[in-house]
Amino acid sequence: MLHVLEAYTVLLRATDDIQVREALRSLLLDMLDHVVSDKPFAHCDLFFDLDWKSLVSKVSYGHDIEASWLFWEAAVAVGDEALKARTREVSLDLADAVLAHGVDTDGAVLYEGTATGPSNTEKHWWVQAEAVVGFLNAWQLGGKVEHRAAALRAWQFIEAHVIDHEKGEWFAIVDRQGKVLPDYPQHRDSGKIGPWKCPYHNARAAMEVMRRIPAR
What's the CATH class of domain 2-212?
mainly alpha
pLDDT in tens, 79-101: 999 999 999 999 999 999 999 99
* pLDDT value for 194: 80
**CA 106 from chain center: how many Å?**
18
* pLDDT value for 207: 95
Which value, in Å, is the radius of gyration of the alpha carbons in the chain?
17
* pLDDT value for 198: 85
* pLDDT value for 216: 64
Do 75 and 28 touch, CB atoms closer than 8 A? yes
* pLDDT value for 133: 98
* pLDDT value for 28: 98
* pLDDT value for 188: 77
Calpha distance 41→36 (Å, rounded):
10
* pLDDT value for 190: 84
Domain limits of the chain?
A: 2-212
CA distances from 102 to 73, 92, 121, 124, 176 (A): 23, 15, 9, 13, 12
CA distances from 81 to 25, 46, 86, 103, 104 (A): 12, 28, 9, 31, 35
Count of helices and strands (H, E) across the chain? 7, 6
- Residue 10 has a CB neighbour count (10 Å cut-off) of 13
Burial code (b: 16+ CB inside 10 Å, e: under 16) for 38-68 equals: eeebbbbbeeeeeeeeeeeebbbbbbbbbbb
Q: Which residues of the chain have pLDDT under 50?
A: none
